[in-house]
Amino acid sequence: MNKIEKKRINDLYKISSCLTNLKIHHVIFDGALLGFIREKNLIKWDWDAEISMRYSEYKENLIKIIETIDKLQIGSIKLNNSYENPKLTINQNDFKYTLQPFHYSKDKKIIFRKLYKYPAKYLDEISKFKINDYVFPIPKNPEDLLELEYGKNWRIPLKSTDKDEYLNSQVYTRKNNKLFIKIFKFSE
């Protein structure tokens, strides 16, 4: 692991620790999880690391989250405070960390945000994953999630920035946006 990779893992750990200290349930998700499981590191050519959490905890603690992460001085903070696609991004020169809150369906079986939907168990049920001396919360049965998200060939690296090429349509699709709108209108 080179110096840049060590710094990225260290910064991700600092962010995760802040959330843990604030008692916010969270997991390493998406491409960051793929890197952890497949490469025992973040993916070298990836541009971000994702941390998922519950929207209710995110909303309730947003000011504390921003203040705590700002004290880390690891990057500039950008907030998208929309209901359908909330996220907090910590930007560095060539990399970013994204906190992505998920909403729950009425029956609590699905988590969703604009364009994305997953079984809720991947956010609710966690296990631990160790890289170097750092321990991170990850979804229980991460291989099942990665197969759902990236398909049966998730172990084969695919260098692409086109989500339609590497994400499974069960998880990421324009249709999910229509589902979100229906659920959002129903919940109002």
Q: In one letter, which amino acid is 124?
A: D
- Report the chain (188 residues): mean pLDDT per 10 consecutive residues: 92 98 97 94 91 98 97 96 93 96 96 90 98 96 92 76 53 54 51
CB contact at 8 A, 51 and 114: no
CA angle 144/25/70 to nearest 5° reads 120
The whole-model pTM stands at 0.86
The amino acid at residue 33 is L
What does the pLDDT read at residue 188? Answer: 45
Which residues, 6+ apart, have CB-to-CB distance to 183 below 8 Å?
Answer: 103, 105, 106, 112
pLDDT at 169: 56
Is-contact 113 101, C-beta < 8 A?
yes
What one-letter code names the amino acid at 101? P
Note whether 90 and 63 are within 8 A (CB): no
